[in-house]
Structures are given as structure tokens and as C-alpha cells.
């Protein structure tokens, strides 16, 4: 299923008029994509019912005791999902194999259950931390469920996510050389707009249009990674959103406090991923309450054993609401500990992906996501890019079908012809196995 105006049957005449205003405003960005919810009446009702269940169903279990639904979910996975059928297990157990992240890249078609409604499938692509494009088959209702989960995260911080025609509910902001950008209308939010914006000046007709556009359509909630939120702060648009939401990268506590002081609103650190959307969030305490009642979270040791409460390990997920990618003990590559208040679990010490900036020889800065995008179509298994204080780059990688010259060409195009660059092929054990991409820099 691909997006078209016909794929948005629930949009009203007022919705379409507002969409034109957002697209045709004199200060509008150079939007380069079209996207929407693609929900029909049945799908919208599913999302509404999901939100009602989300409000009524606590996230609750005790250490080592999965919620009751996990057994039935596991049985369906083992019976109907080709990849899981190879496990030769009949139900949930402590020695059930884990699903590595590479499987979502290399075997995603084998994760589609038999009998799934393929005509309703949509595809998302994310560079994430995979080193190349990760294709995620999904369903419009799985994407629609993001908004109720986000609303729950905001309400836990004392904020809200209002809807209604004629206003911008959410602006998702980026700051990188290229990314898809578009305006859309959400019927889940009763006709409010969702904007995906790139704050990089090259993506606007005039740099000052960024401030003008945001002042004309002030978002109620602004979401982005710490680097893009810092860029937004420097624009000084005078915005007063109900909340800022930081996602995709680790948010340092000092950054959170600074953003909160500048925008006079809660700053929510959201732990979310494309594979299953919002998982946990925090705004003050440093511990992350889990958000979704349909995702079971385990903390596992490198040997795949359940960690004790308070012991750090890999965040491993079972469940979700994507009918085309059911997750059964999925290893996220992120690390935390889990603690409990009675039967309520919390993540603590969450270790997300840290934001890293690189400097060009001309003094301009690059976002680490720009590097990921530049290399995204190369079949790299893992790599590590480091910049030292003299601006020299060292790149170590694992790949059987990529030459150093191919990598050099991409990095020179990105950093400039005068860049000092060393590229070496790493042995199997030289790079971290739990992260496909690792960025470090001595420049601050």
C-alpha cells in the first residue's frame, strides 16, 4: 500500500484546506514527500480502542513472570511465523531463542505470519543504527498507535497532546543535510496537523523562513533528537510548546535542563524505536516507566539469561502491535536495568545512542545521522567512525562486499576533499557486536 490522496478517505474539506495552507505558505519549507495516516474508519476505530485499553490496562508483571498474554502470543508466533517455526519450541520458556537485530534486516520477510493481510501492508525505511536501510513492513494502525502512546508519555510528565482542526499538534524536527519532510493531517488528533521538518537552512527558500513558518504555525508539541532540539533553541522563534520530546539519541541531563529553561515546558526523554514505537519515557526522575501494555520487556545477560532486578543487561522485547513483524525476544542493542515498585516495572540507567557531531575542515558541523545516510546503501555489517582533535578521521568496518575506495568516496563527498582519512577493514572481533554503528569524536 502506498500513500495517495485516495488513501486518506477520512480527511474532511477543512482538513484538505489546512493541508494546502501548510504546503503553500510563503515561508513553507521545501517539502519533498507526501505522507498520511492511511486509516479507514475501521482503522481509526482500532486506534481509538487501543487508546482506551491503554488507559485502562496497567503495565504490570513481576520479575521473571511474563503477563498472561505472552504465552498465547508466543504460541501464535511459533505456529504461524516461518522464522520462529524453526525454533522447534511449543511455547514460552526461559530458553526460547532470542531474535537478533540482524534478522530484521536480512530475514524480515520470514517474520511475516502466514495468512497476514498483505494488501494492507505499508513499508517504512530507517537507517537507525543498522549501517544500511532497514525495511520495516507495517500496518497503518501500528503507526496510528504511536499517538496514544505519545499522549500517555506526555501526560505522565504533566503535559498534554491536544488535537483539533486548524492547529499543529506535533512538529518532528531534524537537523541534517537530507531527510524526508512533509505536512500531514491526523484524524486520530481530530484534524490537527503533524509536520516533519528539517531545520537545515538548505531545505528552506530562505534561512529566516524557518522562524517565520514556525511562528505562523506554532506546534503544541515539538519532537526531535537532542541535536535538532539544540538547533531549534538557537533559532529563538519564541515558541512556547506544551512539551518537548527528545528521541532517537541519548539526552544528557544538562541538555534537558537547558531546554526546559529555554522553552518553559517539560522535556520528555522518549525511548522509542521504529520496530515497536514508544516503549518508555521520563521527564524528571531518571527512571523510565514503561508505556505499552502489549510489550513484555526483559533484561538479558550476554548469555541470554534473565538479569536480576537492578542488574544491567540488554533490553529484549516480546509483543507489539505490528501484524507483519511480531517480535519474540527481540534484542534491541540497547542496555538498561529494570526495577520494580510492587508489580510495576521501570527501566533505569538506560543507555541509548549518544549524539555525535563531526567538524569539517571549513569549520561547519555534520550530524552523525548524515554519515549514516551517506553510507546507508552500502552493505556494511558494522563500522566505527572516529574524529580526533586534529580533525583526522579513522574508519574501521566489517563488510565482505565493500571496498575501502567506496567508503572513501562517500566520506570525501561528505567531509570535503581535504579531509585526512584512514580506512581499515576490521577483524570479526574488533567491533562491538551489539551495535552496528559506533561514532566517537574528540571534538566538543
Q: What is this structure's pTM?
A: 0.84
pLDDT per residue over 282-293, tens digit each?
977 779 999 999
Q: What's the confidence (pLDDT) of residue 5?
A: 55
Dig out the grid coordinates for 405 from the structure: 575506495
When mean pLDDT is compared across 11-15, 90-94, 216-220, 351-355, the lowest value belongs to 351-355
Domains present along the chain, CATH in parentheses: 5-350 (3.40.50.12780), 357-441 (3.30.300.30)
What confidence tier does 435 reach under pLDDT thresholds 50, 70, 90? low
Model pLDDT for residues 136-167, shown as the tens digit of each residue: 899 999 999 999 999 999 999 999 999 999 99
Burial class (CB in 10 A: 0-12, 13-18, 19+), 218: middle
Between residues 439 and 27, which one has the greater pLDDT?
A: 27
pLDDT in tens, 65-84: 999 999 999 999 999 999 99
pLDDT given at position 132 = 46
pLDDT of the residue at 373: 80
Q: pLDDT, tens digit, for every residue of 210-260?
A: 999 999 999 999 999 888 998 999 999 999 999 999 987 777 777 888 899
The per-residue pLDDT for range 29-59, each reduced to its tens digit, is 999 999 889 999 999 999 999 999 999 999 9
Which residues are CB-contacts of 178 (< 8 A; sequence separation ≥ 6)? 198, 203, 370, 373
pLDDT tens digit sequence for 98-111: 999 889 888 999 99
Residue for grid cell 496497567: 58
In sequence order, which ranges of 217-301 are alpha helices (DSSP H)? 226-235, 253-263
Per the CB < 8 A criterion, the answer to whether 153 and 270 are in contact is yes
Amino acid at each position: 500500500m502506498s500513500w495517495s490522496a485516495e488513501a486518506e478517505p477520512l480527511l474532511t474539506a477543512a482538513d484538505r484546506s489546512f493541508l494546502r495552507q501548510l504546503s503553500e505558505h510563503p515561508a513553507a519549507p521545501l517539502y519533498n514527500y507526501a505522507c498520511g495516516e492511511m486509516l479507514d474508519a475501521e482503522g481509526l476505530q482500532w486506534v481509538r480502542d487501543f487508546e482506551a485499553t491503554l488507559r485502562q490496562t496497567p503495565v504490570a508483571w513481576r520479575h521473571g513472570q511474563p503477563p498472561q498474554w505472552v504465552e498465547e502470543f508466543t504460541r501464535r508466533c511459533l505456529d504461524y511465523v516461518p522464522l520462529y517455526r524453526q525454533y522447534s519450541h511449543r511455547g514460552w520458556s526461559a530458553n526460547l531463542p532470542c531474535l537478533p537485530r540482524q534478522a530484521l534486516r536480512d530475514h524480515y520477510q520470514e517474520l511475516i505470519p502466514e495468512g497476514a493481510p498483505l494488501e494492507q501492508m505499508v513499508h517504512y525505511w530507517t537507517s537507525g543504527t543498522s549501517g544500511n536501510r532497514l525495511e520495516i513492513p507495517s500496518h497503518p494502525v501500528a503507526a496510528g498507535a504511536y499517538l496514544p502512546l505519545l499522549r500517555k508519555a506526555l501526560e505522565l510528565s504533566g503535559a498534554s497532546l491536544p488535537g483539533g482542526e486548524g492547529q499543529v499538534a506535533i512538529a518532528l524536527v531534524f537537523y541534517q543535510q537530507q531527510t524526508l519532510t512533509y505536512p500531514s493531517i491526523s484524524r486520530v488528533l481530530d484534524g490537527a496537523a503533524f509536520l516533519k521538518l528539517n531545520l537545515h537552512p538548505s531545505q528552506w527558500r530562505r534561512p529566516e523562513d524557518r522562524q517565520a513558518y514556525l511562528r505562523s504555525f506554532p506546534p503544541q508539541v515539538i519532537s526531535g533528537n537532542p541535536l535538532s532540539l539544540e538547533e531549534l533553541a538557537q533559532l529563538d522563534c519564541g515558541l512556547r510548546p506544551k512539551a518537548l520530546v527528545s528521541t532517537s539519541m541519548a539526552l544528557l541531563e544538562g541538555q534537558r535542563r537547558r531546554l526546559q529553561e529555554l522553552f518553559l515546558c517539560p522535556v520528555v526523554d522518549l525511548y522509542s524505536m521504529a520496530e515497536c514505537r514508544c516503549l518508555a519515557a521520563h521527564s524528571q526522575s531518571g527512571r523510565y516507566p514503561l508505556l505499552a501494555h502489549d510489550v513484555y520487556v526483559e533484561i538479558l545477560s550476554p548469555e541470554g539469561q534473565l538479569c536480576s532486578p537492578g542488574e544491567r543487561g540488554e533490553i529484549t522485547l516480546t509483543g507489539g502491535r505490528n501484524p507483519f513483524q511480531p517480535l519474540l525476544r527481540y534484542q534491541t542493542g540497547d542496555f538498561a536495568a529494570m526495577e520494580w515498585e510492587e508489580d510495576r516495572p521501570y527501566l533505569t540507567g538506560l543507555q541509548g545512542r549518544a549524539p555525535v557531531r563531526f567538524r569539517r575542515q571549513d569549520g561547519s558541523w555534520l550530524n552523525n545521522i548524515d554519515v549514516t545516510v551517506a553510507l546507508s546503501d552500502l552493505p556494511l555489517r558494522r563500522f566505527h567512525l572516529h574524529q580526533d582533535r586534529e580533525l583526522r578521521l579513522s574508519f574501521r568496518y566489517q563488510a565482505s562486499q565493500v571496498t575501502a575506495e567506496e567508503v572513501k568516496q562517500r566520506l570525501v563527498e561528505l567531509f570535503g576533499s581535504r579531509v585526512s582519512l584512514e580506512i581499515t577493514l576490521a577483524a570479526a572481533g574488533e567491533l562491538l557486536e551489539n551495535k552496528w554503528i559506533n561514532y566517537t569524536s574528540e571534538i566538543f
